[in-house]
Amino acid sequence: MSISTSHGLAGRIFGGRYRLAERIGAGAMGEVYAAADEQGRALAIKVLHEHALEDPALVTRFEREATIAMRIESPFVARVIEAGRERTGRLWIAFERLYGESVETRLRRDNFLGFDEVSAIVEDVLHGLMAADDVGVVHRDVRPANVFLEEPVGGAFSRARLLDFGVGKLRDDMGRESTLTAAGITVGSYVYMSPEQLRSSYLADGRADLYAVGALAFRMLAGRPPFQAPNVAGLAALKLHRRAPTLAEATGEPWPAPIERVLGRLLEQEADRRPQSASEALSAWQDVREELAESHHSILVRGPAHLAFESWPEEELDRTEVDGP
């Protein structure tokens, strides 16, 4: 995360014990500050923008992010420690402090990654989704900005962590699903969104997250997402009416069949044709890695093929949309 020169809330104490330091991130809903508690433990505090307090839907989604994330206990999901509301009305969530960078930041610098690194990231994300599934949570917004590469001091990334469950949904103990999204409404990030989530996020289940993992892996390997178009309508039409391209079609270079096979399954248009759980997807991915090792394949870092048209920047098509209550 890049550090802003703005002081903002730096120096303020939240929750009676968390002192905010420099701002280390900002988004549409809030800002993130480095912080420390009374014992000096390093934390990150996410604070809802003041103007967002006037929007009940954004307030509920912010509170929901904390509620959902606190249900998940996994080393592959950013841990929420506490959440609260200040006397001024400002809402905040205290996370464990992570050091490193998001996959989005990494791809802005390197554009594409080697298979070994992608494989490690995908397996960690799937472990995180398995933990979410265990407590009935569907993320619904797996994308580069929401996968964080944790780095020990002076080393390469050691673990990938899932972030931001703000548009997630969960099942109660009776198996009933709870979501803020009405039927027919779309939330999430279009570039990584499954066809069924494009139609209605209300109906998306864990298999939609697996599609997003496939799209994320494809983006990291190929240097471009599976589908590209000059606008959202064009992107949606491609996803709904065309099969996902292979890596070979996207890059103009041959790829080992096991990799093409597992990505093809994750990016199936019909959810019933994908792996049916994060556990099944993880097993399939690990089988590919073992198959490549046994065949002594050497996967080189490859560049993206020349694009046939000028597409919108990915971030313009990768914003979380909130179109309903």
Residue range 167-175: average pLDDT?
A: 64
Query: Does position 310 have pLDDT exceeding 80, yes or no?
Result: no
**1 within a domain of the structure (yes/no):** no
- Give residue 57's pLDDT band: very low, low, confident or very high (50, 70, 90): confident
Q: Which of 96, 125, 147 is the last residue of a domain?
A: 96
53 & 118 share domain: no
pLDDT of residue 172: 52
How far is the CA of 75 from the CAs of 64, 180, 308, in angstroms? 21, 27, 41
Q: Quickly state the pLDDT bin for 299 (edges 50, 70, 90).
A: low
Does 109 share its domain with 207?
yes
pLDDT by residue (tens digit) across 87-116? 888 999 999 999 999 999 999 999 999 999
- Annotated catalytic residue, options 141, 164, 209, 318: 141
Residue 113 located in a structural domain: yes
pLDDT digits (tens, 9 = 90+) for 39-54: 999 999 999 998 888 8
pLDDT of residue 311: 38
Please check whether residues 70 and 154 belong to one and the same domain. Answer: no
Q: Tell me how many degrees the CA angle 321-30-152 measures, rounded to the nearest 5.
A: 105
Residues 271, 178, single domain; the answer is: yes
81 shares its domain with 111: no
| pLDDT score at 306 | 35
Residues 285, 119: contact at Cβ < 8 Å? yes
Specify the residue for token string 């390997």. 221
Mean pLDDT of 213-231: 95
Q: Is residue 8 part of a domain?
A: no
**Domain span at residue 70?**
13-96
- Considering 74, 96, 118, which residue would you say is the last residue of a domain? 96
Domain check: are 18 and 150 in the same one?
Answer: no
Who wins on pLDDT, 171 or 316?
171
pLDDT band at 201 (very low <50, low <70, confident <90, very high): confident
CATH number at residue 74: 3.30.200.20
**Is 323 tagged catalytic?**
no
pLDDT at 81: 92
7 inside domain: no
pLDDT reported for residue 153: 60
| pLDDT category of residue 297 using cuts at 50, 70 and 90 | low
- Amino acid present at 325: P
**Does 87 share its domain with 107?**
no
